[in-house]
Amino acid sequence: MNVSQTCKIEITKSLVSKINAVDFENLSFGSVFTDHLFECDFKNGEWQQPVIKPYAPFLLDPSSRVFHYGQAIFEGMKAYKDGSDAIWLFRPDENFKRFNKSAVRMAMPEVPEEIFMSGLNQLLQLDKAWVKKGSGNAMYIRPFMIATGGGVIANPSTEYKFMIILSPVTSYYSGEVKVLIAEHYSRAANGGIGAAKAAGNYAAQFFPTNLANKAGFQQVIWTDDATHTMLEEAGTMNVFFRINDTLLTAPVSERILDGVTRKTLIDLAKSENINLEIRPVLVSELIEASKNGTLKEIFGSGTAAVVSPIAGFSFQDIYYELPKIENTVALQLKNKLTSIQNKLEEDKFGWTVKI
């Protein structure tokens, strides 16, 4: 994919950088942002002049349709700096394609590749000092689009704002994760927007996740909306199960997000000759495997944490503890992936793209 600076962008540089006030050793994930942002508006049926300007709040009309009808989508990406100070993106083509897939599903305009990639490239070049070297360090990238057209009639907006903001991050560690398998609430339904990275998907998860938190669990493993018998995602991540020496994960669908980390781990597992099956995984199958000792691992996969091991799960008020094992498949795949992302290992797949 071409991430060169082919699109002319108006750039207004920040007069004073915030970087010296940031404690890079103690970053709270997604709470600190760089000096600049990228912005491009859609009006009168076409994309306007893209700009990069100092990071700052902006005004919206109270009737902007993002507030009333929820037209909002986003992506999550990362950039890494290698030992030679070069900056690399990881599979940006996949994020770009998924962003526009989400846009189409939410009746929003697709963002041209030239605007998306040039904006990302030039923004990272401008704020490259914020990308730190070293294991665990990265720049979290948040492209997003919102409906800015005014009016409270229930129609799609005719105006939109596409933006990219950057947030430096360190290793994501959430501690021991215990999950509750959903018996009533669902993340998404057939015919809905589960396959889109739409803001509303995440808002709808907050209430059942809060209920799980109050019961002593950190996350929810979502089940299918019709029968609640099939395991689908874990919190905001795709989810993998290891039964005996076989890795299992559900196929993507209208309900399940096509995660970039998920598909990367699938390819890595195949390259490492790990037995892998992409098929529906039943709650009953998981419980039986836990009871007979064949359930070895459960882990989530996503951009933020990369891989998040799960210590145990609860279903119908019964808690099932996973065994404590060394040299897990989760750790093996995570180490392989992060080594490629940080250019510590050869990228045989062509996933990394230099800025």
Instruction: Give the model confidence (pLDDT) of 31-60 as tens digits.
Output: 999 999 999 999 999 999 999 999 999 999
As a whole number of angstroms, the distance between CA 234 and CA 261 comes to 14
Q: Is 111 helix (H, G, I), strand (E, B) or coil?
A: coil
d(CA 149, CA 69): 11
pLDDT of residue 2: 58
Q: Are residues 165 and 194 in the same domain?
A: no
Please choose, from the candidates 241, 306, 334, the residue with its C-alpha nearest in 3D space to the C-alpha of residue 279. Answer: 241
Tell me what pLDDT residue 174 has.
67
Is residue 5 domain-resident?
no
Average pLDDT over residues 253-280: 96
In CATH, what number is assigned to the domain containing residue 79? 3.30.470.10
Question: Do residues 121 and 182 share a domain?
Answer: no
Tell which of 171, 204, 231 closes a domain: 171
Buried b / exposed e along 277-301 (16+ C-beta atoms within 10 A)? eeeebebebbbebbeeeebbbbbbb
Q: 195 and 51: one domain?
A: no
At which of 171, 197, 232 does a domain end?
171
What was the pLDDT predicted at 20? Answer: 97
Query: Is 348 part of a structural domain of the chain?
Result: no
In a domain, residue 351? The reply is no
Mean pLDDT value across residues 117-137: 96
Residue 233 forms part of a structural domain: yes
Is pLDDT of 82 > 60?
yes
pLDDT computed for residue 5 by the predictor: 56
The pLDDT assigned to 162 comes to: 99
- Residue 271: pLDDT above 90? yes
Tens of pLDDT, residue by residue over 217-233, are 999 999 999 999 999 99
Q: Same domain, yes or no, for 167 and 183? A: no
210 and 303, same domain (yes or no): yes
Query: 232-245 pLDDT, tens per residue?
Result: 999 999 999 999 99
- Is the residue at 347 inside a domain? no
* Mean local confidence (pLDDT), 283-290: 98
As a whole number of angstroms, the longest Cα–Cα distance in the chain is: 64
> Which pLDDT band, with edges at 50, 70 and 90, does 195 fall under?
very high
For residue 247, the model assigns a pLDDT of: 98
Mean pLDDT, the chain, integer: 96
Beta bridge partners of 164: 38, 143
CATH number for 195:
3.20.10.10
Last residue of a domain, one of 108, 139, 171: 171
Are 46 and 103 members of one domain?
yes
Are 102 and 70 in contact, with CB atoms under 8 Å apart?
no
What is the dihedral sign for C-alpha 223, 260, 159, 108?
Answer: negative
Residue 151 has, within 13 A of its CA and on its CB side, a CA count of 8
Strand partners, 222: 233
79 and 158 fall within a common domain: yes
53 with 135, same domain?
A: yes
In a domain, 2, yes or no: no
Report how far residue 55's alpha carbon sits from residue 60's, in angstroms, rounded to the nearest whole number.
16
Q: Quick: pLDDT tens for 144-180.
A: 999 999 999 999 999 999 999 999 999 876 677 999 9
Residue 162 and residue 109 in one domain: yes
216 and 309 assigned to the same domain: yes
pLDDT at 84: 94
pLDDT digits (tens, 9 = 90+) for 84-97: 999 999 999 999 99
- pLDDT value of position 58: 97
Asked if residue 156 and residue 205 are part of one domain, the reply reads no
pLDDT at position 3: 63
Q: Are residues 83 and 182 in the same domain?
A: no
Question: According to the model, what pLDDT value does residue 344 have?
Answer: 95
Is pLDDT at 1 greater than 60 in this prediction? Answer: no
In this predicted structure, what is the pLDDT of residue 175? Answer: 73
Q: What's the helix, strand, coil split of the chain in %, to 5?
A: 25, 30, 45
Per-residue model confidence as pLDDT tens digits over 338-348: 999 999 999 99
- Range(s) of the domain holding residue 119: 10-171
What's the length of the chain?
355
Q: How many domains does the chain have?
A: 2
